Amino acid sequence: MKVAAIVPAYNEEQTIGPVIEALLECQLLSEIIVVSDGSVDRTAEVARQYPVKVVELAENIGKGGAMKAGANHTNCEVLLFVDADLVGLHKEHIEALLEPVLSGRTAMSVGVFSEGRRSTDLAQKLAPSLSGQRAVRKDLFDQVPRLESSGYGVEVALTQFAEKHNVDIVRVPLPTVSQIMKEEKRGLVKGLCARMKMYWEIVRSLRI
């Protein structure tokens, strides 16, 4: 099965490069798609320095919409989603995340941080279904309704749909991988506002 890696990114010029470099090292990937979700920084410009497909959205439509846009630009049978603000990602993590799906054991796998930063490790231990690192068969992904408007609730929507259809979601440890916190990227006030928006979209997805 062919695999497309999709990286939804909103103003991630500082971290997008190393994430792409890790993906390029993985021989299991047929293509890499970076979706710049209405970014106003150099995210798309940095991505174009690499041999990847760059999809630029005219305005910010949210993570779910960006992921859906990326999926619409590929015919690969398996989709690998990774966040653009990861730290410590290596090809071994990518291969481990893909193995359960490529081997046919499951239609969806989810990466869970471990041995990285205490804050991100704890968050994923408490709520692994919120992880943005996952591999999923495209035929399953395409069936999930309302992803375009799900925002940060997209991971909850994917998990709930898989569970509803009796998909055994395999959790894959991602040792030493972590994320840059929103407060670090945008400053305390803007970061907290972005975090509250994320929580609201997650809660909203739980109520649908």
What's the confidence (pLDDT) of residue 73? 97
Any domain includes 120: yes
| Contact (CB, 8 A) for 84 and 23 | no
Q: Strand (E) positions, the chain?
A: 3-9, 31-37, 53-57, 78-81, 86-87, 108-114, 134-137, 170-175, 178-179
What's the confidence (pLDDT) of residue 126? 47
Report percent pLDDT > 70 for the chain: 79
| Contact (CB, 8 A) for 56 and 44 | yes
- Say which DSSP state 166 is in: T
What's the confidence (pLDDT) of residue 191? 47
What's the confidence (pLDDT) of residue 152? 73
Any domain includes 68: yes
- Residue 136 dihedral angles phi and psi, to the nearest 5°: -150, 140
Q: What is the pTM of this model?
A: 0.83
pLDDT over threshold 70, residue 202: no
Please compute the mean of the pLDDT values over residues 142-165 and round it to a whole number.
88
Any domain includes 91: yes
**What is the CATH classification number for the domain harbouring 105?**
3.90.550.10
Instruction: Please state, rounded to an integer, the average pLDDT across all residues of the chain.
Output: 86
Other CB atoms within 10 A of residue 163 CB: 13
Q: Is 176 exposed, middle or buried (0-12, 13-18, 19+ CB in 10 A)?
A: middle
162 vs 121, higher pLDDT: 162
150 vs 100, higher pLDDT: 100
In the chain, the number of structural domains is: 1
What's the confidence (pLDDT) of residue 121? 40
- The percent helix, strand, coil of the chain (3-state, each to 5) is 45, 20, 35
Residue 58, CB-side half-sphere exposure with 13 Å CA sphere: 0
Any domain includes 10: yes
Any domain includes 137: yes
Find, among 13, 4, 5, the residue nearest to 36 by Cα: 13
The per-residue pLDDT for range 67-116, each reduced to its tens digit, is: 999 999 999 999 999 999 999 999 999 999 999 999 999 999 999 987 55
The per-residue pLDDT for range 45-74, each reduced to its tens digit, is: 999 999 999 999 999 999 999 999 999 999
What's the confidence (pLDDT) of residue 179? 77
Domain that holds residue 64: 3-180
- Take residue 28 and report the two structure tokens written for it: 């299991």
Any domain includes 113: yes
Any domain includes 19: yes
Any domain includes 155: yes
The per-residue pLDDT for range 109-140, each reduced to its tens digit, is: 999 987 555 544 444 554 556 788 999 999 99
